[in-house]
Amino acid sequence: MATRNIIKVGDELLRKKSKPVKVFDEALWELLDDMKESMHKNNGMGLAAVQVGVLKRVIIIEANNMFMELINPEIIAQSGEDIEQEGCLSVGKDYNYVKRPMYVTVKAQDRFGYDFCISGEKYLARVLCHEIDHLEGVLFIDKVEKGYKEKK
């Protein structure tokens, strides 16, 4: 395992669309392991492969004391809304309020290519949406709710 460098806002790559993973091989597992180490080193709650410079539809999440790897994740259902603060390892110390669904269900594959679904509410739903946005080149700073900054 190795720590990989996390790219920051301003880097063009963060704005690119990530490509589906078709091969579930050692290179993918190494990427996943490196992403986990890089996320932990930077005290993150989630990380998308693009943040370590790899344009593949791969995200990892640490939420509710669970560590998850999601390959080719897709939101298949969502409902409600929740406005809370969020941040991003590629943005730095700038936290801001973003509206997200209260509940989401995500379909994905694990590191061996097996399909699974995960449903999350509130915080978990938020992190899932945030990381899946990265795969489309979208950052939370694009979605900030105006007028909420002063409340906390």
- What does the binding site for Co ion look like in residue numbers (CB under 5 A)? 88
CB distance 106 to 76 below 8 Å = yes
Strand partners, 56: 19
Q: What would you report as the CA-atom Rg of the chain, rounded to the nearest whole angstrom?
A: 15
- Kindly tell me which of 88 and 129 has the beta carbon lying closer to Co ion: 88
Nearest to 25 by CA among 110, 111, 114: 111
Cβ contact 46:139 at 8 Å: no
Q: Which residues, in sequence order, are CB contacts of 12 under 8 Å at separation 6+?
A: none
The reply to whether 131 belongs to the active site is yes
Give the residue at shortest CB distance from Co ion.
Answer: 88
**Closer residue to Co ion, CB minimum distance, 16 or 114:** 16
Task: Please check whether residue 35 is in contact with residue 60, taking contact to mean a CB–CB distance below 8 angstroms.
Answer: yes
Q: Which of 26, 131, 136, 150 is catalytic?
A: 131
Q: Which is nearer to Co ion, 21 or 48 (CB)?
A: 48
Q: To the nearest whole angstrom, how small is the minimum distance from the Cβ of residue 12 to Co ion?
A: 16
Catalytic machinery residues: 131
